[in-house]
Amino acid sequence: MYCVLRIAYYDSRLATRDPGLSTPCRTALGGIGRHLYRCGIPSAEVRKLFIIDREGVDALIAALQERGFEVVGPTVRTGAIVYDRVASTADLPVGLRDVQEAGTYRLEERGDAALFGYVVGPQSWKRFLSPPRTAVWAGRREGDAIVSTVPAEPPRYAFFGVRPCEIAAMKIQDEVYLPAGDTVYGPRRSGSFTVAVNCTEPGGTCFCTSMGTGPGVSDGYDLSLTEVIGDGTHHFLVEAGSDAGAEVLGAITGARTAESGEMAEARSLVVAAADHMGRSVDTLGVKELLYSNALNPHWEEIALRCLTCTNCTMVCPTCFCSTVEDHQSLDGVEAERVRVWDSCFTLDFSYIHGGPLRSSVSSRYRQWLTHKFASWQDQFDSSGCVGCGRCITWCPVGIDVTAEITEIRESDLRSQVVPVGEPELRRQPT
């Protein structure tokens, strides 16, 4: 019975992403999923759930280190939460929350000792899986021969504190890199361990519920944590999502089996989070909407604000565009080829002989948004957006994908009478 309900829950989560369903249908299915999550189904029959305290989280980090993982997780640097090496819970942003809005971000004290009382910062895990600068080849001249320098083995990362939307982003990047046999991403990803953290307090720019990627994690993790903090209570519900996770969990002394009331409480926090998203966006038919609105005048209005700074693409956990740079030493003895993150907002990005294909700002913003929400579906059979909100927070002028899609929807060219011979609407996209 449990399995049937669990499958139904997952099916309803998938169905909420189906653009072929009407909004009422998707909302109803999402409600079924949230109800199944909420109703305290005895998970212990299938996957045991455990309770640990802060010492247990320290023991978890130590257990990962003992197994040879380099543990990376949230830390505070220069007023923001960024991912870096974590040696113990003391390195986490203890007792902090992030206050996020379009174009603004700040940290503030929560008044408690929460370990995960914030959401996502400007970085994502792609900086470890496909680093901003990576040597893909290096070599040196030795006599008449060119000798390749073997790149160093990447560390075995344990990603600690991964949010559900970020796991969705990793799965999206898997579809990009793994089928291509990418030698940078593949080894880093296959050797990694993922400790997920369910979200109980969404941020001001989060909209994962609209994208079907959160606030609870359903798969793609080795261990998941749900932090419960309240009147005299501070503990973590832990669930293993893989054999490797179960093995590590078994090594944590002090972990005890969760009681049904504790499971229900943790789940209710996650369910409640779904109703408190900072933002939402209607994704029904968004592919057709954007494909049909290449000439919508709203792109020009966005271009008046957009600085083409590339921030949105750098912070986005799914953006993967890169360029290649060749470097050589002045004496000509050593050379290397480096893969560097690039962005569709730069002029060079679409340069072909004679000039860039997308010379206007409006065409570059339209390309990015249309790829994320429309052509990504044709390319990879999923959305390219997971609703993390980073591009909204870190856009210096506060351009907001949820607001821009809403504007496009409200000015949908398909609902307008097109005057015969209207020059603006005959004009080809640039």
What residue ranges bind ligand SF4 (CB under 6 A)? 306-312, 315-318, 345, 372, 385-391, 395-397, 399, 401
Residue 42 or 396 with smaller CB distance to ligand SF4: 396
- Minimum CB separation from ligand SF4 for residue 137, in Å? 30
Residue 30 or 278 with smaller CB distance to ligand SF4: 278
Residue 177 or 345 with smaller CB distance to ligand SF4: 345
- Minimum CB separation from ligand SF4 for residue 256, in Å? 37
Residue 71 or 316 with smaller CB distance to ligand SF4: 316
- Minimum CB separation from ligand SF4 for residue 363, in Å? 13
- Minimum CB separation from ligand SF4 for residue 390, in Å? 4
- Minimum CB separation from ligand SF4 for residue 124, in Å? 8
Question: In a 3-state reduction of DSSP, which class is residue 120?
Answer: coil
- Minimum CB separation from ligand SF4 for residue 236, in Å? 26
Residue 248 or 306 with smaller CB distance to ligand SF4: 306
Long-range contacts of 393-396 (CB under 8 A, 24+ apart): 393/100, 393/101, 393/102, 393/103, 393/104, 393/105, 393/122, 393/203, 393/204, 393/205, 393/315, 394/105, 394/122, 394/311, 394/312, 394/315, 395/102, 395/103, 395/311, 395/312, 396/103, 396/307, 396/309, 396/311
Residue 130 or 238 with smaller CB distance to ligand SF4: 130
Picking from 122, 190, 115, 123, the residue whose alpha carbon sits closest to that of residue 157 is: 190
Q: Cα separation of 271 and 106, whole Å?
A: 26
Looking at 191-280, list the stretches that DSSP marks H as alpha helix, in order from N- to C-terminal side: 208-211, 243-250, 260-274
